[in-house]
Structure 1
């Protein structure tokens, strides 16, 4: 496919006439084209196409079709059919009424090109640049961020199903790329054991029989890996996704030992207590990047998506950035990434509203240095003293930074001050008090639960972080801050809209890159909806409540 940089032509007169007659009161896509003009240009996607070969469908049209496809939650076939048959789609794409459109497979090829060239961000960035040019978005305002789960496009498997299905998937992929070799090494029993999806077969129910079946599957997997290691193939089988999954899964769930008497290698299925943490394990051979996570009362396998949007009262609320991560990545690790991305886009906010999962002491110190005020509640101290009203929590100790001492509520000074680094690389200060002071203290039970002879110790953050966290917790308790923080609540409505109207909850694809592309397309499609409403003067809807609940406010 080649790309020729042709100017984006105006809408053909006949298409204009028919469209205006068909939609006399206006149409979202007609408004989009008339008010904002072409959002994308072929030059935006020049890196995706060669300069020679068969001419390609104009990529600016494919990008716009992708956004409209996710705006209406259509499949590739449905989107291609809409290009061929719908007048409003032809209008916004600048096509003749007789234009036959293109084959639906072009859309998946376009998405693949975006992923291969790390250009998925263009779907959202070019729209934001266009909005900035026409004055619909600006930097140094207010923005808010929140996250939600995205379910992977896989079936949840138990341990036994995962073992057998991973081996079956590996055999299927090898049978596709090296069928003759698979025929040579495949055991006769494999065709019955792995010939159909494991979920469709009847697995043993008794514990002893399930363990025996797991041993058989484990031995089959190691036999296949041994055969691959000895195979003389030009194929780089180590890089095949299912082989990667097979190796990782077998290392996690099985142990291979050499029997001293016979000299043979025995396979042992590990107990649950010996396994890695759930978030570190592969959950399916068909999506190696999907991870398991539980949060509060919710558990899922898949990803996390973080949406950031503007929230100034006098501006259109537009999504400015999207971050997609495996489910195991915590929100706190995404805050600096989001800040740097918004700075790079020249859309950094002056105030950034987030919940407590995005806030820690380091960010309270570093964010203002980037010109960003992080507005969010700092997580409370998790010690038992902070949860008991008459106990002495860390906040009741005075810290003399100049003399490197801490003073307890009874006026006793610490005797030890040691700076160290924890397993995450964060600096901290370990403070200990004199044993005799703690042993004779009349309120010892309100301060520490260590055994007699032990002393109270404190773990302090570095001074700048400690004071920033203390000040933040103090201001968060004020009524003025609580009123200010109410602005963050709007992002929950954005996530609800993305999940209920745009299909954000479930990814259509497998893999982090494709899931991220879907999330970007959904965010851009939501922006199109908001831009159209802003242009038409449609007010933002308030949160709906039932008629009965409304009586309480009457």
Structure 2
């Protein structure tokens, strides 16, 4: 049941008592005055189709808290504490001075309902519409791109836990699967004396490699037997939760295992593979969560958030949430898609796009150049093949003639695949020790957009470029 706000203000209503102290034009003042029009009850009506049950927190309050939470980067608990003790938050949400914030789990509850709805981005859509209608960024011609990994609270699972959990899930989701599990999935019981109804991990000698291999073989064999017994094609065609459960079982039954030594898998002997499957599912609780390596030392599990920000106002004009891996989810691919689709940018506006080196690919530079925009992104660093030696920019490139000249003044033709070979010319060259360590000489491979990247590196050395980048890029 959806909650409603009381339009009759309380005696100690913060906006009435101290609303004049809010900074004009701030997000607090905007929400205090217009939150009921920004987030009317009908905006969230589909989340609470039933008129029965305990009323939820009013949608305009939750939406206002979510906006402020995103703006200040608060956790759920910190956001509720701010609503309880910060008068600006109380004014923005229509709370009285002595009113206590709601339980922080309410935010999780609302986000779950929003994520499962047909319009999970509705709060952001409303804010973006206000930005467009008010012209807050109409004259702003800079956009900054960035991304970050968002931690997922789900616990990662090993192969054994995933197989057991997903067989249990198929038993819950697929009609008649419980009986099939009892008939077909018997190998686990033969190995450790327990079936799929028992809690916890199987009781085996975990320090015994042979025992572990036997358990893996039993679990994979049970999973394959269950999939064979089920009418997987019909279940998949019907769709819904049963189809998702069957598809995920098929995935986890094969992503981490391979036939044991001297086995082709037909004899039922399997082992954990000494590799990591591409796009590996790390948990059956949240199959979309992935491993992420923001740096070599920092490893996380979760999702990647991508944003486009107008740096002067700090307003986010576009955003997306993706998996952390895969070429279609890269910073470059998503960044280019978001910034070129930004509805707050006029058709004829010339925009300066700021970003770190993750956005300095040749494809991104080409995309921005085709639109007549100026890329202010940190270029990829050039790494010489010999420490302290020549880099690619020490070679002279004639794009019109398709020729590349090395530091030793030897010129070679660049092939259609971007390759220039200097091998024979490197013999006896006095600069060879600074150019290559290859016994056969130097071969240079130029990317599709090499000229654009070279020109961009030169432009990035200008003081004007550095000044604008240092001033506005950190505002994300």
TM-score by length of 1: 0.66
Paired residues for 1:20-419 under 5 Å: 23-24=17-18, 31-36=29-34, 38-40=36-38, 42=40, 45=43, 48=46, 61-62=58-59, 64-68=61-65, 71=69, 73-74=75-76, 114-115=114-115, 118-157=118-157, 161-178=158-175, 181-182=179-180, 184-185=182-183, 187=186, 190=189, 192-198=194-200, 204-229=206-231, 239-255=242-258, 265-273=267-275, 275-277=276-278, 280-294=279-293, 295-312=295-312, 316-328=313-325, 329-343=329-343, 350-385=351-386, 388-389=387-388, 391-414=389-412, 416-419=413-416
Partner residue in 2 for 1:476: 460
Stretches of structure 2 lacking an aligned partner (at least 5 in a row): 97-101
2:253 alignment partner, SS class: helix
Deviations 1:1-58 (A, max 9, x none): 99xxxxx99943xx164415984476879844554454425598499589x9969999
Q: Given the superposition, is the C-alpha separation of residues 371 and 403 from structure 1 closer, same or farther in structure 2, using an over 3 Å criterion?
A: closer
* Cα drift, residue 142 of structure 1: 2.4
For the pair 1:487 / 2:476, whether they are aligned, the reply is: no
Deviations 1:362-394 (A, max 9, x none): 322321332432211110223414xx33x3332
* Aligned with residue 13 of structure 2, among 19, 34, 58: 19
Q: Structure 1: how far apart are the matches of 2:465 and 2:15?
A: 53
Q: Structure 2: how far apart are the matches of 1:156 and 1:53?
A: 35
* Cα drift, residue 176 of structure 1: 5.0
Contact 2:305/2:320, CA 8 A, preserved across alignment? yes
Stretches of structure 1 lacking an aligned partner (at least 5 in a row): 3-7, 97-101, 421-428, 495-554
Q: Given the superposition, is the C-alpha separation of residues 323 and 256 from structure 1 closer, same or farther in structure 2, using an over 3 Å criterion?
A: same
2:414 alignment partner, SS class: strand
Q: Structure 2: how far apart are the matches of 1:227 and 1:143?
A: 55
* Aligned with residue 461 of structure 1, among 447, 458, 462: 447
Q: Structure 1: how far apart are the matches of 2:139 and 2:19?
A: 34
Q: Structure 1: how far apart are the matches of 2:266 and 2:54?
A: 60
For the pair 1:450 / 2:438, whether they are aligned, the reply is: yes
* Cα drift, residue 203 of structure 1: 6.3
Q: Structure 2: how far apart are the matches of 1:232 and 1:251?
A: 21
Deviations 1:427-464 (A, max 9, x none): xx11223x54333433333323332xx342221234xx
Q: Structure 1: how far apart are the matches of 2:103 and 2:363?
A: 52
Q: Given the superposition, is the C-alpha separation of residues 200 and 163 from structure 1 closer, same or farther in structure 2, using an over 3 Å criterion?
A: closer
Q: Structure 1: how far apart are the matches of 2:92 and 2:447?
A: 56
Instruction: Judge which range, 166-175 or 191-200, deviates more.
Output: 191-200
Q: Given the superposition, is the C-alpha separation of residues 57 and 370 from structure 1 closer, same or farther in structure 2, using an over 3 Å criterion?
A: farther
1:251 alignment partner, SS class: coil
Q: Structure 2: how far apart are the matches of 1:221 and 1:373?
A: 54
Q: Structure 2: how far apart are the matches of 1:402 and 1:89?
A: 61
Q: Given the superposition, is the C-alpha separation of residues 337 and 39 from structure 1 closer, same or farther in structure 2, using an over 3 Å criterion?
A: farther
* Cα drift, residue 200 of structure 1: 9.2
Contact 1:41/1:60, CA 8 A, preserved across alignment? no
* Cα drift, residue 189 of structure 1: 5.6
Contact 1:400/1:406, CA 8 A, preserved across alignment? yes
Q: Structure 2: how far apart are the matches of 1:104 and 1:300?
A: 24
Contact 2:414/2:420, CA 8 A, preserved across alignment? yes
What is the total number of aligned residue pairs between the two structures?
447
Contact 2:426/2:441, CA 8 A, preserved across alignment? yes
* Cα drift, residue 251 of structure 1: 1.7
Whose relative contact order is higher, 1 or 2, with alpha carbons under 8 Å and at least 6 apart?
Answer: 1
Q: Structure 2: how far apart are the matches of 1:402 and 1:298?
A: 45
Q: Structure 2: how far apart are the matches of 1:21 and 1:336?
A: 41
Contact 2:149/2:305, CA 8 A, preserved across alignment? yes
Higher helix proportion: 1
